[in-house]
Amino acid sequence: MDADTLSRHTVWFVNIAHALDHFILLIYPTAVIAVAAQTSLGYGELLGLATGAFVAFGLCSLPMGWLADRFGRRNMLAVFFLGYGVSCFGVASASSPTAFAIWLCVLGLASAIYHPVGSAMLVTHARRLGRDLGVNGVWGNLGAASASGVTALLTAWFGWKIAFVAPGLFCIACGLAFLALVPSDGNAAGGEAGKAAAIPVSQPLPLLIVFACSVVAGGLTFNTATIALPKVIDEGLGATLSLTMIGSVATAVFVFGAMTQLLMGRLIDRLSLPSLYLGLAALQPLGLAIAALSSGLPLLLGLVLTMAAIYGQVVINDAMVARYVPAAYRSRAFSVRYFLGFTVSGLVVPMIAFLHERGGFALVLGIAAVCGAVVLASAVGFYGLTYFDTKRKLAPAE
């Protein structure tokens, strides 16, 4: 297989994997509404069973870059597809809280493979970094967007078990097709993005610190918003909405995030990354504050603004790793970046349950808005540090 065909196949499967990664992980937060209606367990208790999934999703991101370097990125992505399929079947077979917790943890372990491995593969095979990151982000966001709607429909028509079995079958089929059509990691045909030299900086440690703070705080807002969204809509837009309608509205909100990622991808190839980072970060606390303080249509508008900002930020963060980290270290850098961002997702599930019991989603979203303010402060710091770097480079020699 020639390099150009291999690169095209690789990018296609990386995009599909991104959609599946967000789709599968968000089946349970919607399906749990139906599970709660069929059992004596409450929403908070059932949602808490997913803690292991989100902990594994974060913690296991760290070694995945090392495993990819050792066993090959292509092989690890095949494990992702097949492992996701098996774990979906396992969750569907669960009939007790313990079984749910175990299989959801296995699901989280499989999910941890994609971001550090898939992101490095994408950057290597990308022809235009911003455009391809933006398109990849749209695939991921459409996966998240469709999860609530598709899960709600499958649950309403066939029961919540089929909401896991059907995606599981699709994952297995994708894994087999991937093994057949992508025979190796290969060399990128047009991967200038993967080979490009990193942007030099004079103060790497302060930049690393502010970026790490942004990633951690952004991980909290990202996971709080995506996990809680179906239930926020359920409570904030009226208890008369059916599960299908709740899922459809949640899907519509996610779509706005997808469009923002596509826009950010285009802008990355044209504008300064620190400037884009700062402008987008300002929208996070604003949208979350509106959602926390309102209900009905204003709540929906706040959620749309929040999702646009949060998902656009994902593309910006990946572009920063690609632009500021040398090529030889990018796979491990993506592992650390997603380890920091997703490890906090393990804290989000019990945090939502705890805060919801004490102050409803107004309190949950209010705390998320505080985290959004930390992202904004980090963006200001990053912009200031890179601005002075630029000024020094442009200053005439004495």
Distance separating the N- and C-terminal Cα atoms of the chain: 55
How many CB atoms neighbour CB 333 within 10 A? Answer: 20
Predicted pLDDT at 20: 93
DSSP-derived 3-state class of residue 344: coil
DSSP 8-state assignment for residue 176: H
Mean pLDDT of the chain: 80
Q: What is the pLDDT of residues 291-311, one digit of tens each?
A: 888 877 788 888 888 888 888
DSSP 24-52: HHTHHHHHHHHHHHHSS--HHHHHHTTHH
For residues 320 and 376, what is the distance between their CA atoms, to the nearest angstrom? 16
pLDDT at 381 over 80: yes
Find out whether 112 and 64 touch, Cβ atoms under 8 Å: yes
The percentage of residues in the chain with a pLDDT greater than 90, rounded to a whole number, is 15
Predicted pLDDT at 210: 87
All structural domains of the chain with their residue ranges: 3-394
CA torsion 301→314→132→385, rounded to 10°? 120
For 128, list phi and psi in degrees, rounded to 5.
-130, 115
DSSP 279-317: HHHTHHHHHHHHHHT--HHHHHHHHHHHHHHHHHHHHHH
Tell me the residue type at 223. Answer: N
pLDDT at 394 over 70: no
Q: What is the pLDDT of residues 45-70, one digit of tens each?
A: 777 777 778 778 777 878 887 788 78
Q: From 10, 19, 15, 13, select the one nearest 125 (Cα to Cα).
A: 10
Predicted pLDDT at 16: 95
Find out whether 264 and 276 touch, Cβ atoms under 8 Å: yes
CATH of domain 3-394: 1.20.1250.20
DSSP 8-state assignment for residue 96: S
Find out whether 124 and 72 touch, Cβ atoms under 8 Å: no
**Number of residues that this document lists for the chain:** 398
The residues near 271 (Cβ < 8 Å, ≥ 6 apart) are: none
Predicted pLDDT at 397: 45
